Amino acid sequence: MSSNLAWAWGVVRTHLKMQGSVAWLALSMSLALSCTRPSAPLAASAPPAGETDRTTVAPSTSAPTPEASASSPAPSPSPSGSSGGAPAPRDRVPRREAVIRGEFPCPGCTTRLPPTSDASAPSPMLVVLHGDDGNTAWMDWMWHGPADKHGVVMVVLRCPGAGGYGDPSWSRWHRSARHDPGWLAARIEEVIAREPIDRRKLYASGYSSGASYLSSFASDHPERFAAISLVGGGDRHPGACSACKLPVHFLIGSLDTMLQPDVIPLRDWYQACGGHDVVWELRQGMTHEGIQWSLERGGANAILTWMLRHEAGCGPG
C-alpha cells in the first residue's frame, strides 16, 4: 500500500471511531481519496510578448537524454546530406582548468593553456623570455595569473644555449657562433600549429638578457608581434627605422645598471623613429633584480592589459 493510500485509510478509520455512521464513512472516504489524486500539471507559461524563449534558440552542449531522443525524431536529411535549414552553430569546448604542456615547444620550455569557455576558439598568445639565470619557473610564476585571467596562452621559452649545463644567457647565445636567428620564430610556429592562436594577438615579454634578445629580434622583425614588454633590459638597435610601428612597454628600476648604457638609448631610438606607442615606467629606487617584484605585485597584469589593446598592424607574423 502506498503512503498516500495508507494515510487515506487512517483518515477513514479515525472518522469511523469518532462518528460511527455510514454517512460519515462515505464523506470521509471521499475526502481521503481526493487527497491521493495527482494534481494536473501546470501549463507552461509563454514568454511575454516581444521576448524570445531562450531555451528554444540556445545550442545545447550536453547530450540529449534517451527520453528526449525518443520523443523528438531527428529531422529528415536534405538531398545534400545535411539536416536542412540554417547550419548548426559550432559547439563550444570548455576548458575548466589550465593545461600545462611541459617540454613544449622545446626542451625546458612550457606552454600553458588558460581556462576558457571555448577551447576551440583562437586565443591571444604571450611569449616570455627569462633572464641570465635561466629561471623559467620564476617567469611562469609572475605571468601565469594574468595570462589565465585574460584567456591568454602563455609560452615560456628556455634559451637553447642552456641545453644540458650550457649557458642560459640569451645575449651571449645571440653573440655566439651557435646562434640560430630563426629559432624564436620556429618555436612560435610550433605552438600555432598545435593550438588555436589568434595571429593578430601575438605578444612577447623578456626580462634582463631576455629583454635584450627580444628587443633585438623585435626591432628586426616588428611584424611578428602586436606589442612587446621589456623588463629590466634592452639593446640599442643601430638599424634604420621600420614602417611597422611596434608598440613597446618599458619597465625598469632607477638603480638598474642596464638603464643608461642600453635601455634609455633603445627608448630614444623608438621615440626618434616616431609612430610607436612607447610606455616608459621607471621605478625609483629599484634594482635590476628588484624590478621583478613589480611584475609579481600587479605589474604583469597591467602590462598584459595594455598589450591586449593592440593588434598586429603590419599583418600577422
Question: 0.85 cut: is pTM over it?
Answer: no
Closest CA to 317 of 126, 152, 188, 155: 188
Give the model's pLDDT for residue 91: 62
Let me know how long the chain is.
Answer: 317
Give the model's pLDDT for residue 133: 85
Give the model's pLDDT for residue 316: 55
Walk along the chain (317 residues) and give the pLDDT tens digit of each residue: 444 444 444 444 444 443 444 443 443 444 444 444 443 333 333 333 333 333 222 233 333 333 333 333 443 433 333 334 444 445 678 999 999 999 999 999 999 999 999 999 999 999 999 999 888 999 999 999 999 999 999 999 999 986 655 788 999 999 989 899 999 999 999 999 999 999 999 999 999 999 999 999 999 999 999 999 999 999 877 678 999 999 999 999 999 999 999 999 999 999 999 999 999 999 999 999 999 999 989 999 999 999 999 999 886 55
Give the model's pLDDT for residue 66: 34
Sequence ranges of the domains in the chain: 3-33, 99-307
| Rounded Cα–Cα distance for residues 159 and 163 (Å) | 8
Give the model's pLDDT for residue 181: 94
- In our burial notation (b when 16+ CB lie closer than 10 A, e otherwise), range 155-176 reads bbbbbbbbeeeebbbbbbbbee
Does residue 4 contact residue 36 with C-beta atoms inside 8 Å? Answer: yes
Give the model's pLDDT for residue 54: 30
Architecture category of domain 99-307 in CATH: 3-Layer(aba) Sandwich (3.40)
